[in-house]
Amino acid sequence: MTMLMDLSFWNGRSTEDILEVYERYKSSDRFVEEIVALIVEGIEENGATWLLKHHFEQGSNLSADDIDKIYKALPTLNAWEARLHILQSMPYMPIESANYQIIEAFVRGGLTGNHKLIRAWSYSGFYELALVVPGLQSEALEIFDQALKTEVPSVTARIRNLLKKGFE
């Protein structure tokens, strides 16, 4: 069996099942290469992005080239779950200037969507971008201030946590 086949059998909900996939393939020399390829190609993107996020949470890193490929694939992500996993992975993926525009479009799009989780994590993505693009910091503060007045409590909680961190 291959990682792609295992991901195709995942129901998108069972953490136990996707953890088994992670454990089965994490030691492979091609693990990261396969995840990145699946994300770039838009194949089993929910599972591939979940594996990526979990890989980061386990203390692993990606090369700058792999991160660049993932950021360049942002416009092609279709599933909201895949977009969420990437937004949640952004703190682990340094942002290079070549990807500023792609990332900015991605997070701004999420700020206006209907899905609360995507909006909440898009504020986090905008924060990550503003950390490396100083010109965005004042705009981020304005956006966060406005959102604190209009967003649902679950989203404002995330924004308040970002504001506590500041832009240092």
pLDDT digits (tens, 9 = 90+) for 58-90: 999 999 999 999 999 999 999 999 999 999 999
Contact 118, 151 (CB under 8 A): no
* Residues lower than pLDDT 70 in the chain: none
pTM, two decimals, is: 0.95
Q: Which pLDDT value is given to residue 71?
A: 98
Q: Which pLDDT value is given to residue 140?
A: 96
Exposure of 29 by Cβ count < 10 A (0-12 exposed, 13-18 middle, 19+ buried)? exposed
